[in-house]
Amino acid sequence: MEQYIVSARKYRPTTFDSVVGQHALTATLKNAIATDRLAHAYLFCGSRGVGKTSCARIFAKTINCTNRTAAGEACNECDSCRQFNENRSMNILELDAASHNGVDEMKTLIDQVMVPPTTGRYRVFIIDEVHMLTTQAFNAFLKTLEEPPAYVVFILATTEKHKIIPTILSRCQIYDFNRISISDMVAHMQRVAAKEGITAEPEALAVIAQKADGAMRDALSIFDQVAASSRGNITYASTVENLNVLDHSYYARLVDAFVAGDVPSALLIYKEVRSKGFDSQFFINGLGLYMRDLMVASNPATMTLLEASDEMKEQMAARAAKLHPTFIYKAMDLCNDADFNFRQASNKQFLIELTLIKLCQLLSPSPDESGSDGGQLKPLGQYAKSEPTAPQTPQPQPAAQNMAQQQATAAGMPRQAAPAPRPAQPPTGHTYSPGGLSLRARHTAAAETAARPLQEAQAAPVRDSKFTDADFDTAWSKVRGSFRDEPLLTSILLAAAPEKAEGTAYTLPVGSEIQAEAVRKFARAINGMLRDSLQNDSVTVEPKVCEGEIPPAFWTEQQVLEHIVSAHPAVAEMITKYKMRLG
């Protein structure tokens, strides 16, 4: 029976073209070999499982090949290639710096450097995990690394580049390996599955690739594990069950509950997740990442930031198209707050449940806009529909009370007036807002206006006090500081100042329609605060999207620099004189 070899070893790259996800880097190495422009020292950096050591071995094999192919690959037929393939080459030596990290090991390596190659042109020394060397070992290695014999090439590999001393870095050509994308890992695992006779669903391979977190070796190890558990039939369901992965379907159901404002469904989904053994912080982190994926999927320009299969990208884009960007931003902010406060919370389950309730309220109408519920939270059973409470009417007096009053009148006693009916008290509760935060700090003026009785509002005189531009600036400063719980609105209000349009009407320049929508949402509160401060009920501020020239408040750093250069010729002369550049 043939001995079993794990896929990570069996399908390890042996040529530059078989390296997964590092096309630009391998092309550079092949060009250096083809033009015979080889450095004496290379440093391969990157996270685990991205092909650093594999590329080092391929590079060492190729530079010693005496009959390279037209594509720049090793021929696998010459003596040097055969010795390398049979693991008996004396020209390629590998050292594990994790276990050989002292000065004595470096001295031994320096002695071996003086031995010329037996076959081929170069002796290649591959030092893996080079960051594990001690400072003394690095210093002992410096002189040899800088001026080795002409036939010596050093290839250093590390996962922690920042731990290598600068004097070593300055003596090497540095190559940074990328994390392997999900699409590249899925394509490679499909090739492995075809060679092994394993059937695998693309969605299942995408889950494995996400679990591997950019490491091809990890992906192949997980692939073997799932293939063994499913007996060679890798399905999405078997993969999710075997890896104990929190499926995106849970998050999709939660988003549907948020949009519908269905608090009970959201809490039941969270209970289902906990019953499967998932940690609550892992759950809220996953929900935040799912909302982030929806954000990048909502715009074709940022779709490349979404690491998922093509089918998953289409599903996320379709779902994101139905959601308002502000809803996604606030949901991400709430998930981030819950993750930040998780460790300090004494009741962690309550923290997550409260966050889910706030998420369900993001699309609920604000009491400033509807005025129907007075900003009171409703019990869970009343979230479907609730009818406004009818005003109480005086109840007819009972027959016994009428008879007693008639007898008292006949006896000459004064008739007692019936007690006036007690006015209905509004239900008590906590104020809320679409973001789940208190409205008292944000909408003080608007809330007081909404709370006044209709008769009082109609009878109130119209305020028409005169005010100066300085008075308006003072009132606007107060408005800017009243929305600290709304980061998006605060940034908009701080970025630009209102411009006078006509009379007491002002326009606020904004950079996009999304910003204009954010201002319109709180326009009632903003105008109410200005009117109270200025004692003038005709003051209005409306957002205006700048379609032509962008105002200075929204300029980028590059635009600011260009404006300075155009306005000050002396700066332009200085830039030309000293050969400086903008940006």
Higher per-residue pLDDT: 571 or 520: 520
Average the pLDDT over 222-233 and give the result: 88
Residue 323, classed as helix, strand or coil, is coil
- Measured CA to CA, the distance from residue 492 to residue 484 in angstroms comes to 12
Residue 442 confidence (pLDDT) above 80? no
The whole-model pTM stands at 0.57
Residue 571 near residue 580, CB atoms below 8 Å: no
| pLDDT classification of 266: cutoffs 50, 70, 90 | very high
Residue 93, classed as helix, strand or coil, is strand
- Closest residue by Cα to residue 80 from 68, 67, 93, 64: 64
- Write down the pLDDT at residue 400: 45
Strand 499-502 versus strand 152-158 pairing type: unpaired
What is the Cβ-side half-sphere exposure of residue 555, based on CA atoms within 13 angstroms? 12
Residue 431 confidence (pLDDT) above 90? no
Average the pLDDT over 103-126 and give the result: 87
Average the pLDDT over 515-534 and give the result: 87
Higher per-residue pLDDT: 561 or 250: 250
- Write down the pLDDT at residue 403: 46
Residue 74 confidence (pLDDT) above 80? yes
Residue 330 near residue 305, CB atoms below 8 Å: no
Residue 124, classed as helix, strand or coil, is strand
How far lies 454's CA from each of 306, 392, 481, in Å? 52, 17, 30
Residue 439 confidence (pLDDT) above 50? no
- φ, ψ for residue 374, nearest 5 deg: 65, 15
What would the two tokens of residue 50 be?
């991205």
Residue 259 confidence (pLDDT) above 70? yes
Q: Which contacts (CB < 8 Å, 24+ apart) does range 450-458 have?
A: 450/367, 450/368, 450/371, 450/374, 451/374
Residue 374 confidence (pLDDT) above 90? no
Helix (H) or strand (E) holding 320: helix 310-320
- Measured CA to CA, the distance from residue 558 to residue 537 in angstroms comes to 42
Helix (H) or strand (E) holding 570: helix 569-577
- Of the listed ranges 11-25, 134-148, 313-327, 483-497, the least confidently predicted one is 483-497
Average the pLDDT over 281-285 and give the result: 90
- Write down the pLDDT at residue 552: 62
- Write down the pLDDT at residue 392: 46
How much is the mean pLDDT over the chain? 79
- Write down the pLDDT at residue 1: 52
- Of the listed ranges 86-95, 118-127, 314-323, 541-550, the least confidently predicted one is 541-550
Residue 15 confidence (pLDDT) above 80? yes
Residue 175, classed as helix, strand or coil, is strand
Share of the chain above pLDDT 70, in %: 80
- Write down the pLDDT at residue 373: 43
Helix (H) or strand (E) holding 111: helix 103-113
Average the pLDDT over 131-155 and give the result: 89
Residue 526 confidence (pLDDT) above 50? yes
- Measured CA to CA, the distance from residue 391 to residue 316 in angstroms comes to 47
- Write down the pLDDT at residue 312: 80
What would the two tokens of residue 493 be?
């209000």
- Write down the pLDDT at residue 483: 82
- Write down the pLDDT at residue 154: 93
Average the pLDDT over 483-493 and give the result: 78
- Closest residue by Cα to residue 42 from 63, 71, 21, 23: 63
Compute the residue count for the chain. Answer: 583
- Closest residue by Cα to residue 158 from 19, 39, 42: 42
- Closest residue by Cα to residue 126 from 34, 10, 62, 41: 41
- Of the listed ranges 61-75, 311-325, 418-432, the least confidently predicted one is 418-432
Helix (H) or strand (E) holding 566: helix 557-567
- Measured CA to CA, the distance from residue 450 to residue 457 in angstroms comes to 9
- Closest residue by Cα to residue 336 from 355, 349, 350: 355
Average the pLDDT over 225-234 and give the result: 87
Q: What is the DSSP letter of 150?
A: T
Average the pLDDT over 301-328 and give the result: 84
DSSP string for residues in 474-529: HHHHHHHTT-TT-HHHHHHHHH---EEEETTEEEEEESSHHHHHHHHHTHHHHHHH
- φ, ψ for residue 156, nearest 5 deg: -100, 135
What would the two tokens of residue 135 be?
């400072």
Our CA angle for 4, 5, 8, nearest 5°, is 150
Considering only CA atoms, give the Rg of the chain: 36
- Closest residue by Cα to residue 236 from 265, 208, 273: 208
- Of the listed ranges 25-39, 233-247, 389-403, the least confidently predicted one is 389-403
Name the amino acid, one letter, at 152: V
Residue 59, classed as helix, strand or coil, is helix
Residue 251 confidence (pLDDT) above 60? yes
| pLDDT classification of 391: cutoffs 50, 70, 90 | very low
Residue 72 confidence (pLDDT) above 90? no
| pLDDT classification of 267: cutoffs 50, 70, 90 | very high
Using CB atoms within 10 Å of the CB of residue 121, give its burial: 0 to 12 exposed, 13 to 18 middle, 19+ buried.
Answer: middle
Share of the chain above pLDDT 90, in %: 15
Residue 377 confidence (pLDDT) above 70? no
Residues 9-47 as b or e (16 or more Cβ within 10 Å = b): eebbbbbbebbbbbeebbeebbebbeeeeeebbbbbbbe
- Of the listed ranges 151-155, 544-548, 550-554, the least confidently predicted one is 550-554
Residue 18's contacts (CB-CB under 8 Å, 6 or more residues apart) are none
- Write down the pLDDT at residue 484: 75
The side-by-side arrangement of strands in the sheet containing 505-510 is: 499-502, 505-510, 540-545
Residue 573 confidence (pLDDT) above 90? no
- Closest residue by Cα to residue 316 from 401, 255, 378: 255
Average the pLDDT over 221-227 and give the result: 90
